[in-house]
Structure 1
Amino acid sequence: MKLKFTLLTLFLVLISALSFAQKSNNSQSIISGKVNISKYHSREELKNLDKGELLTLYIERIEVIVNILPNIAFATKPGVTMASLGIPETKDNKKALEENKEASDTYFDSTIEFQKSILPYSDKKDLIAAILFYESTLKALHTYEDFKKD
């Protein structure tokens, strides 16, 4: 009798643990990865950098843009989830979000591979212009909420 009680208790604890483990599956953030840059630069600051440093800045800005811009209709900052937007967390919706993240990662990786092999051939002034353009785009994200007003 004591053995049956112990086995039944153990079974119930195991079932409870499994059911709570599935329910605690937190929502994934729609925006993940690098979402900000360490510093905005002036043209003069960029002119004083060597080409290798400019390439690093260029790639960093691409990473942030790839992580944010495709999802701008949902969020501009990390931490926003499907649940917080009222999107049902169905199996299909979760799968779509995961596939979107994988596609974004694949795109970013292939873009960076291309940039690292081809970008060193670009002119320094073109790199500077591109970095300044990307930075102005990232600055504009701070005013995105202004466009949502009726």
Structure 2
Amino acid sequence: MKGKIIFFSVCLLLATGIVSAQDKNAPKSIISTSALIKKYHDQKELQGMKKGELLELYIERIKVLVKTLPYIALATKPGVTMADLGIPNDADNRKILAEQAESTTSFLDVTVAFQRRMVPYSDTDNLVAAILFYENTLKSLHEFNDM
């Protein structure tokens, strides 16, 4: 009886592992799916926020821009894959896309650390203006495909 329980448990574990394993060859999004802005703001709304909140919005917008701008010749919204664009989903292209994602993450880690250290010394009005500029840039990117 114990043997059957152990056998079925091992089979169930292996089946679960096979089913839940990700396909390494599945097309990946060119633009990170985390490159989204949840909400856009107006100047009055931003001026009513504390500097800490503004700093977080500023950093979020920098991240989205860094994850989007290098790819606007290919796509402007997250979720578009190489296959969607007709780019071969071969090992070389998957590797270069993975290397680019890794480099972007490394760059953002350093940039965010810098922003968290330096931006609190900025003038609040300049911070608000920068956030509005970044948001307008992001809105323009979403309209880019209509051209």
> What is the TM-score when the length of structure 1 is the normalising length?
0.78
- What one-letter code is carried by the residue in structure 2 that aligns with 1:111? T
Q: In 2, distance between residues paired with 1:111 and 1:131? A: 16
Which residue in the other structure is 1:62 paired with? 62
- What one-letter code is carried by the residue in structure 1 that aligns with 2:113? E
Q: Which stretch of the first structure deviates more once superposed, 31-40 or 108-117?
A: 31-40
Which residue in the other structure is 2:109 paired with? 109
Q: In 2, distance between residues paired with 1:146 and 1:131? A: 24
Contact preservation (8 Å) 1:33, 1:67: no
Which residue in the other structure is 1:118 paired with? 118
Which residue in the other structure is 2:11 paired with? none
Residue 76 of structure 1 deviates from its aligned partner by 1.3
- What one-letter code is carried by the residue in structure 2 that aligns with 1:128? V
- What one-letter code is carried by the residue in structure 1 that aligns with 2:102? E
**Which SS does the other structure have where 1:76 is aligned?**
coil
Which residue in the other structure is 1:88 paired with? 88
- What one-letter code is carried by the residue in structure 2 that aligns with 1:134? Y
- 1:13-28 residue pairs with structure 2 within 5 A? 25-28=25-28
Q: In 2, distance between residues paired with 1:24 and 1:48? A: 46
**Which SS does the other structure have where 1:75 is aligned?**
coil
Instruction: String of CA shifts for 1:100-139, please: whole Å, max 9, x gaps.
Output: 1011111111100100011111110110010000010011
Unaligned regions of 5+ residues in structure 2, if any?
Answer: 1-17
Unaligned regions of 5+ residues in structure 1, if any?
Answer: 1-17
Task: Verify: 1:74 aligned to 2:74, yes or no.
Answer: yes
RMSD: 2.0
Instruction: String of CA shifts for 1:28-59, please: whole Å, max 9, x gaps.
Output: 11111422212111111111111111101101
Q: Which runs of 4+ in 1 moved over 4 A?
A: 21-24
Which residue in the other structure is 1:129 paired with? 129
Which residue in the other structure is 1:40 paired with? 40
Q: In 1, distance between residues paired with 2:76 and 2:66? A: 12
